[in-house]
A and B are shown apart, each in its own frame.
Chain A
Amino acid sequence: MLTEFGKIFVFFLTAIIFVVIALFVAKLIRPSRPTKEKLTTYECGENPEGSPWVKFNIRFYVVALIFLIFDVEVVMLIPWAVVYQQLGFVGYLLGAIFLILLGVGMAYEWRKGDLEWARPKIEEPIFTKSIPPPEIQKKLTLTE
């Protein structure tokens, strides 16, 4: 008789054999006309270029952190909402405390400026010389 783990083993075997047979039969039947386009790495229609280890913009991390608050909120509130009826007023209080604490977190992010879409600072050109130069300015005022 098979044990429970034995059944899982049979399942594994079936999965492996299924894949091997499918690939082998496909190999027998299909025509083979490789082109360059067909052989490149598939990347959602984009041309694969360069290494995948590029630096992501720091802005994405900030957005991800803010997203986390709301994500956690939903994850935690769903089980609470399911049993809310049995918990009564105490449950309501616990949920309220949880939401207030999350709100504090949100306020913290807002106040510390993490909701600003961080942009590289555009340096304004600094002019050290006044235009036109002072000597010419003097002459101009004299002629006037």
Chain B
Amino acid sequence: MNFESLNTSLQFLKPEIAVSILLVVVVLFDLIFQNNKKALPVISITGLLVTGYFIIEQFTLNGYAFNLLTADAFGAFFKLIVALSAIFVILFSISSSEIIRCEDRQGEYYTLILGMVLGMFLISSATDLILIYLSIELLSLSSYILAGFVKTVERDSEASLKYVIYGGVASGVMLFGISIIYGLTGSTNLYTINSILQSAQLGGFTFIFAGFMVLSGIGFKISIAPFHFWTPDVYEGAPITITAFLSVASKAAGFALLVRFIKITFFDSMSESGYWILLNVIDWQSLLVLLSILTMTLGNFAALWQENLKRMLAYSSIAHAGYLLLAVAVLSNEGLIAVLVYFSIYLFMNLGAFFVVMLIANKIGSEDVDDYKGLGSSVSFLGVALAIFLLSLAGLPPTAGFIAKLYLFIALIDANMVTVAIIALLNTVVAYYYYVRVLKNLYLVRKEVEMEPVGVSFGNKIIILLLLIPVLVFGIYFTPIVNLAKSSIAFIGF
């Protein structure tokens, strides 16, 4: 390796390098100024903003780094989502009572969040199975620790332990699948595997088995139905900031990986109307449609019975993973645009819902739906914000959530998958019930105990508005995100 090739490769890795340097800086700052914990979030956010600049630069790039990573607009889009949600989560952490209680370990907290961000950046641009595995592990190991960050609370430790055990099994299965694929094709590079699959008649049961094993590892990250067991427990137990981060960023990275894995490895040709014709090795479409219907039905129906709001949002995020998987299952450019639009809206509404739940939990010390009875008048601003976020998650017309679902259904109808579209539509109807139940408790139920009005600090109001305005604006004026999504579905090499 010489300087020129290293230099050209590093050109495509600027966001990753920026996050790595930021991570080291945060550790060193925490070591040198041990008593100055207030500066840590400021440093992290500044660093992430710089990273964001490099990510925006990547939208126009097209190239490989070390034959392991690609720099393309698709990866940049997901990196932007990850970086944005990381910034919001760090902003949440400043006022989270759970995190403030662990004053002496704040340095580790921000370092581990940045570790997760680095892992997700690598996941969303990796095209080599070994790097895919390593970056998933980097993401997982950081999130295992963060899930149990408040180690004095039993619920947190339980969440962390369950996450480690399920995660260990999932990554083991995935590694086995990767080893089988390597054994069959002799390569770990997705592009090479694709060309081998195109020339040789591989396939049969072994390859399907291996593909399913890799899918189970990715499915664990995005919590689709047979691999979702960890989600409710971990989401309920982990600190709310981490739950919000896992539900948005970790899922985004997982979907980026899933799309890249399917589209690069099994790609045959592109039809004129933008449908991908995949190699006849694994019937991805039927498999993904089956899994997504299972996922959304299970997520929505399980959410109906939940008393804890965090747990309910966990099941709702499983259901949303189902919708997103359906958009992937269309296997077309239209579907991919739907995924990107969905994610950019899901980011704001889901983070917003978790943030409001966190602020209310800070005050009343509970996340139970029953404790929200008659709170509407005492949490005036928070209540309205929560109502808008939940209605957007449900997909009601004036909010952005409707646009996300609209694009999904357009892609489905365009692909003639009407039956599936109807099942998804019925699912959204079921989802209305549990979102609206929270609002009913807030506004229509009589108060049991008198409560003082819950105030919100000025900074938190601004954070909520930063999340609320996109949810409302994108519901009416959504051309910019759709255009951004359209311009960022181009993959390198295709």
- Chain A positions within 8 Å of B, measured between CB atoms, are 87-91, 101, 104, 107-108, 111
Q: Which residue of A88, A104, A111 contacts B2 across the interface (Cβ within 8 Å)? A: A88
Main secondary structure of the interface of A (DSSP, over half): helix
A101–B1 CB distance below 8 A: no
Interface residue? B413 (CB, 8 A): no
Main secondary structure of the interface of B (DSSP, over half): helix
Q: Which residue of B1, B27, B28 contacts A91 across the interface (Cβ within 8 Å)? A: B1
Q: A107–B30 Cα gap in the complex (Å)?
A: 11
Residues of A within 8 A of B34 (CB): 111
Q: A108–B34 Cα gap in the complex (Å)?
A: 11
- Least CB distance from B424 to A in Å reads 47
Q: A104–B3 Cα gap in the complex (Å)?
A: 26
Q: Which residue of B3, B24, B27, B31 contacts A89 across the interface (Cβ within 8 Å)? A: B3
A104–B1 CB distance below 8 A: no
B6–A104 CB distance below 8 A: no
Q: How many residues of B contact A (CB 8 A)?
A: 9
- Least CB distance from B423 to A in Å reads 48
- Least CB distance from A91 to B in Å reads 7
- Least CB distance from B7 to A in Å reads 10
Q: A90–B6 Cα gap in the complex (Å)?
A: 8
- Least CB distance from B33 to A in Å reads 11
Q: Which residue of B3, B24, B27, B28 contacts A90 across the interface (Cβ within 8 Å)? A: B3
- Least CB distance from B109 to A in Å reads 14
B31–A108 CB distance below 8 A: yes
- Chain B positions within 8 Å of A, measured between CB atoms, are 1-3, 6, 24, 27-28, 31, 34
Closest CB pairs A-B (n = 3): A111-B31, A90-B6, A90-B1
CB-CB under 8 A for A90 and B31, given A101-B24, A104-B24: no
Residues of A within 8 A of B2 (CB): 88, 90
Residues of A within 8 A of B27 (CB): 104, 108
Beyond A88-B2, A90-B2, A90-B6, 15 additional pairs, beta carbon < 8 A: A87-B1, A88-B1, A89-B3, A90-B1, A90-B3, A91-B1, A104-B24, A104-B27, A104-B28, A107-B28, A107-B31, A108-B27, A108-B31, A111-B31, A111-B34
Q: Which residue of B lies closest to A93 (CB)?
A: B6
Q: Which residue of B lies closest to A89 (CB)?
A: B3
Q: A39–B28 Cα gap in the complex (Å)?
A: 58
Q: A32–B335 Cα gap in the complex (Å)?
A: 79
Residues of B within 8 A of A101 (CB): 24
Residues of B within 8 A of A89 (CB): 3
Q: Which residue of A lies closest to B28 (CB)?
A: A104
Residues of B within 8 A of A111 (CB): 31, 34
Q: Which residue of A lies closest to B1 (CB)?
A: A90
11 A–B contacts, CB within 8 A, in A order: A88-B1, A90-B2, A90-B3, A91-B1, A101-B24, A104-B27, A104-B28, A107-B28, A107-B31, A108-B31, A111-B31
Residues of A within 8 A of B24 (CB): 101, 104
Residues of B within 8 A of A91 (CB): 1
- Least CB distance from A32 to B in Å reads 47
Q: Which residue of B lies closest to A86 (CB)?
A: B1
Q: A111–B30 Cα gap in the complex (Å)?
A: 10
Residues of A within 8 A of B1 (CB): 87-88, 90-91
- Least CB distance from B32 to A in Å reads 8
Q: A88–B24 Cα gap in the complex (Å)?
A: 26
Q: A108–B108 Cα gap in the complex (Å)?
A: 10
Q: A83–B24 Cα gap in the complex (Å)?
A: 28
Residues of A within 8 A of B31 (CB): 107-108, 111
Residues of A within 8 A of B3 (CB): 89-90
- Least CB distance from A84 to B in Å reads 12
- Least CB distance from B111 to A in Å reads 9
Residues of B within 8 A of A104 (CB): 24, 27-28
Q: A101–B20 Cα gap in the complex (Å)?
A: 10
Q: A108–B107 Cα gap in the complex (Å)?
A: 11
Q: A88–B27 Cα gap in the complex (Å)?
A: 30
- Least CB distance from B1 to A in Å reads 5
- Least CB distance from B278 to A in Å reads 34
- Least CB distance from A82 to B in Å reads 15
Q: Which residue of B lies closest to A110 (CB)?
A: B31
Q: A40–B1 Cα gap in the complex (Å)?
A: 61
Q: A87–B6 Cα gap in the complex (Å)?
A: 11
- Least CB distance from B107 to A in Å reads 9
- Least CB distance from B349 to A in Å reads 38
Q: A104–B34 Cα gap in the complex (Å)?
A: 15
- Least CB distance from B361 to A in Å reads 30
